[in-house]
């Protein structure tokens, strides 16, 4: 059998068998013509017709899939390679940009270091998630999958460091979070040190590996060195009575420093909290710079709505461990307390919505 064809043309077959008439048929894109018998003279005519229709030699794999001709380089040989991504990545607004636009951001703390919980938090709509390396069991390598999950969900991550030191700051910043939270800052001196841990020399003491770390998209973000300072949110947490007038602090550690560890709602603790709040808000309004933001954690006696009314810009309303604990305890309680009361006379469950909740 011999076959002849060309792109976008009919396919002509010639079938031959010993001691039998030759057979030919024509294939098009949409129809197949019936078999017809042809004499030797007819086949000779078809062969000559084919040669007149196609001036080029029969197609081969090389002619069907020719190798592209290389064009000469258009740039000088001395030009360095461009490491920028070939696809423009759409990134959400930074936390600092949203704060500058007057938004009140709502987030949660992640102590479980579960990427699944982190992803759910992001998909649920939290504006930020604080991955807590101070009180959570995880470290840098455990935090990274959580950052991956939050990035996929379009939610910004903040890393709370185990302690305020250049080593932890450097490793955390190289992961590329939107913010870092320094614990146990007790005054202006320690706050300035914390900021210096986040800046490259000469502005700070941060070690540089910006060409290969996640923060700079592994070196493909060519504008990283120019933009990281404006995009990074540096948070300092004062948790002692001495530093309460300078920087935002947490109610639990503040109450502990005052001797009220189990009573963060104590009157004295709340009075100092108000002093701290006013200090931060006054600092923000001083000179019209708007560079300071008030952040805090909602408590049972002081909920998110109350914090928003008092001018907080960032509010953390929950902890993943606490949310699961509450849901688990309530689930067990419902089962234990209801018992046989859940069944009516026909033995059917009265709570039809249980599994849909």
Biggest alpha carbon–alpha carbon distance for the chain: 114
Chain segment 28-51, per-residue pLDDT in tens: 444 444 444 445 555 455 445 444
Sheet holding 295-297, edge to edge: 233-236, 179-182, 156-160, 128-132, 105-110, 314-319, 295-297
Looking at the DSSP bridge assignments, the partners of residue 297 are 316
What distance in Å separates the CA atoms of residue 249 and residue 270, rounded to the nearest whole number? 12
Long-range contacts of 185-193 (CB under 8 A, 24+ apart): 185/236, 185/237, 185/238, 185/239, 185/243, 185/247, 186/238, 186/239, 186/240, 186/242, 186/243, 187/238, 187/242, 187/243, 187/246, 188/246, 190/164, 190/236, 191/236, 191/246, 191/247, 193/164
What distance in Å separates the CA atoms of residue 212 and residue 140, rounded to the nearest whole number? 17
**For position 170, what pLDDT does the model report?**
96
Most confident of 38-52, 75-89, 151-165, 299-313: 151-165
Local structure of residue 57 (DSSP, 8 states):
P
249 falls in which pLDDT band (50, 70, 90)?
very low
Q: Which residue has the higher pLDDT, 78 or 282?
A: 282
Which residues in 16-91 belong to E strands, given as ranges? 23-27, 36-37
Q: Which residue has the higher pLDDT, 113 or 343?
A: 113
What distance in Å separates the CA atoms of residue 5 and residue 15, rounded to the nearest whole number? 15
**For position 11, what pLDDT does the model report?**
44
Judged against a pLDDT cut of 90, whether residue 108 lies above it is answered with yes
Nearest to 93 by CA among 105, 83, 81: 105
As a whole number, mean pLDDT of residues 114-124 equals: 98
**For position 257, what pLDDT does the model report?**
53
**For position 274, what pLDDT does the model report?**
78
DSSP per residue over 119-151, as a string? HHHHHHT-SEEEEETTTSS--HHHHHHHHHHHH
What distance in Å separates the CA atoms of residue 76 and residue 318, rounded to the nearest whole number? 57
Percent of the chain with pLDDT over 90: 45
Looking at the DSSP bridge assignments, the partners of residue 26 are 12
**For position 78, what pLDDT does the model report?**
45
* pTM higher than 0.75: no
**For position 186, what pLDDT does the model report?**
81
Chain segment 264-278, per-residue pLDDT in tens: 556 676 777 777 777
Chain segment 145-192, per-residue pLDDT in tens: 999 999 999 999 999 999 999 999 999 999 999 999 999 888 788 889
Looking at the DSSP bridge assignments, the partners of residue 84 are none
What distance in Å separates the CA atoms of residue 8 and residue 11, rounded to the nearest whole number? 9
Ramachandran area for residue 6 (φ above 0: left; ψ -120 to 50: alpha; else beta): beta
**For position 74, what pLDDT does the model report?**
54
Nearest to 264 by CA among 227, 214, 299: 299
What distance in Å separates the CA atoms of residue 50 and residue 64, rounded to the nearest whole number? 19
**For position 316, what pLDDT does the model report?**
95
Token digits for 281?
A: 């808000």
Asked whether the beta carbons of 259 and 266 are under 8 A apart, the reply is no
Judged against a pLDDT cut of 80, whether residue 300 lies above it is answered with yes
Q: Which residue has the higher pLDDT, 125 or 290?
A: 125
Nearest to 129 by CA among 304, 316, 322: 316
What distance in Å separates the CA atoms of residue 170 and residue 167, rounded to the nearest whole number? 5
**For position 85, what pLDDT does the model report?**
57
**For position 191, what pLDDT does the model report?**
86
Chain segment 196-226, per-residue pLDDT in tens: 999 999 999 999 899 999 999 999 999 999 9
Q: Which residue has the higher pLDDT, 302 or 232?
A: 232
Judged against a pLDDT cut of 90, whether residue 194 lies above it is answered with yes
**For position 9, what pLDDT does the model report?**
46
As a whole number, mean pLDDT of residues 301-316 equals: 91
What distance in Å separates the CA atoms of residue 192 and residue 203, rounded to the nearest whole number? 11
As a whole number, mean pLDDT of residues 284-301 equals: 75
Domains and CATH numbers, the chain: 2-60 (no CATH), 95-325 (3.20.20.60)
As a whole number, mean pLDDT of residues 59-65 equals: 48
The mean pLDDT of the chain is 75
Length of the chain: 357
**For position 12, what pLDDT does the model report?**
43
Q: Which residue has the higher pLDDT, 290 or 124?
A: 124
């Amino acid at each position: 059998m011999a076959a002849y064809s060309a792109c976008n043309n009919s396919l002509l077959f010639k079938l031959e068998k010993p001691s039998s008439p030759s057979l030919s048929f024509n294939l098009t894109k949409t129809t197949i013509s019936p078999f017809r018998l042809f004499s030797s003279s007819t086949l000779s005519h078809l062969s000559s017709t084919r040669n007149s229709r196609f001036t080029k030699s029969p197609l081969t794999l090389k002619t069907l899939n020719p190798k592209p001709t290389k064009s000469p380089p258009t740039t000088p040989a001395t030009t360095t390679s461009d490491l920028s991504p070939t696809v423009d990545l759409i990134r959400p607004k930074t936390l600092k940009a949203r704060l500058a636009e007057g938004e009140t951001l709502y987030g949660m703390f992640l102590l479980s270091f579960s990427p699944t919980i982190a992803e759910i938090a992001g998909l649920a709509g939290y504006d930020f998630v604080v991955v807590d390396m101070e009180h959570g069991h995880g470290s840098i390598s455990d935090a990274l999958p959580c950052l991956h999950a939050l990035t996929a969900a379009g939610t910004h991550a903040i890393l709370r460091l185990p302690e305020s030191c250049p080593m932890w700051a450097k490793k955390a910043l190289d992961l590329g979070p939107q913010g870092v939270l320094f614990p146990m800052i007790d005054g202006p001196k320690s706050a300035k040190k914390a900021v210096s841990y986040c800046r490259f020399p000469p502005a700070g003491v941060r070690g540089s590996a910006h060409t290969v770390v996640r923060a700079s998209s592994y070196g493909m973000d060519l504008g990283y060195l120019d933009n990281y300072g404006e995009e990074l949110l540096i948070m300092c947490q004062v948790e002692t009575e001495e530093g309460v007038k300078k920087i935002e602090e947490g109610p639990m550690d503040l109450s502990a420093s005052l001797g009220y560890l189990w009573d963060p709602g104590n009157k004295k603790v709340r009075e100092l909290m108000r002093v701290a709040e006013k200090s931060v808000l006054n600092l923000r309004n001083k000179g019209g710079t708007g560079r300071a933001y008030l952040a805090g954690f909602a408590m049972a006696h002081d909920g998110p709505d109350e914090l928003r009314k008092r001018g907080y810009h960032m509010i953390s309303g929950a902890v993943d461990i606490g949310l699961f604990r509450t849901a688990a305890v309530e689930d067990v309680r419902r089962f234990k307390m209801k018992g046989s009361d859940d069944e009516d006379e026909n033995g059917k469950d009265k709570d039809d919505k249980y599994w849909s909740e």
